[in-house]
Amino acid sequence: MARVALITGGNRGIGLGISRRLVTDGYAVSILATREEPTDVLAELRELAGSDDAVRYVRGSVAEPADHVRYVQDALDAWGRLDVLVNNAGVAPAQRADLLEATTESFDRVLGINLRGPYFLTQEFARRVVALRGALTAPPLEPVATVVNVSSISATTVSTDRGDYCVSKAGVAMATQLWAVRLAPEGIVVHEVRPGVIATDMTAGVAPKYDALLADGLAPIARWGRPADVAGAVAMLASGATPYSTGEVFHVDGGMHVPVL
């Protein structure tokens, strides 16, 4: 039986890049997203997988705990196992606003989707993995499951016109550490992938700004990142090739995080 990966927001942008990579690597993939079922995207993924049964789509929101239960149960009903959770779904503020003009409505929306949602979806996923795994007499030598949180360079890089987004991603970084420590005895490893400037529909509106910054030395690798770049990091961490590691932060930012004099 193929390994099973749950990918939130796996129908577009970075998430679609991750879905394509994991399907190509032989995973059965389930996507959670709020939009109507994207038949063209699912057809592409099923063609990559070579099977209509290897890709599922659940319409729902990562911000809704009831959808977490429905999402995980759908994968179990279809495939009977859980191996990987990729907490990828996220939003930017609907409008950028200076910290002095920021609203509680935007803050609550962004943190509900970007932080609270994946935090409690991880809880649901882990509980079900533990139930499937059964009792342990000792921690397993190899991971039984992997959680990968897709955050952002904004976890540590300040943008004062989107403070809610930065706070949400900093929270994801701490949530990764919390879950890594709590779930290690359960045989579940947890990692964070931290993208930099990635070319997606979310960043299309600010392309001229980042074109100029990249030309001016924003990152040592002076190009836009691609969803496939992020997907490669997720695939590596999910593969089980690093069984003695957890709580790691893997930057996919062209070296943007490296201090330079």
> Residue 35: enclosing H or E segment and its boundaries?
none
> Residue 2: enclosing H or E segment and its boundaries?
none
Q: Which residues of 203-219 are buried (b: 16+ CB within 10 A; e: fewer)?
A: beeeeeebeeebeeebb
Q: How far apart are CA 200 and CA 74, in angstroms?
A: 28
Q: Which whole-number Å values give the CA distances from 208 to 41, 65, 175, 204, 213, in the listed order?
A: 28, 38, 33, 9, 9
| DSSP string across 131-143 | HHH---SS--SS-
Place of tokens 């100029």: 212
Report the relative pairing of strands 84-87 and 4-8 from DSSP bridges.
parallel
Residue at 2: amino acid letter: A
* Catalytic residue selected from 71, 165, 210, 244: 165
Q: How far apart are CA 8 and CA 30, in angstroms?
A: 8
Q: Are 196 and 251 in contact (CB under 8 A)?
A: yes
Supply φ then ψ for residue 83, to 5 degrees.
Answer: -120, -40
DSSP state of 258: S
119 is catalytic: no
> What is residue 200's three-state secondary structure?
coil
Supply φ then ψ for residue 119, to 5 degrees.
Answer: -60, -50
**Residues taking part in catalysis:** 165
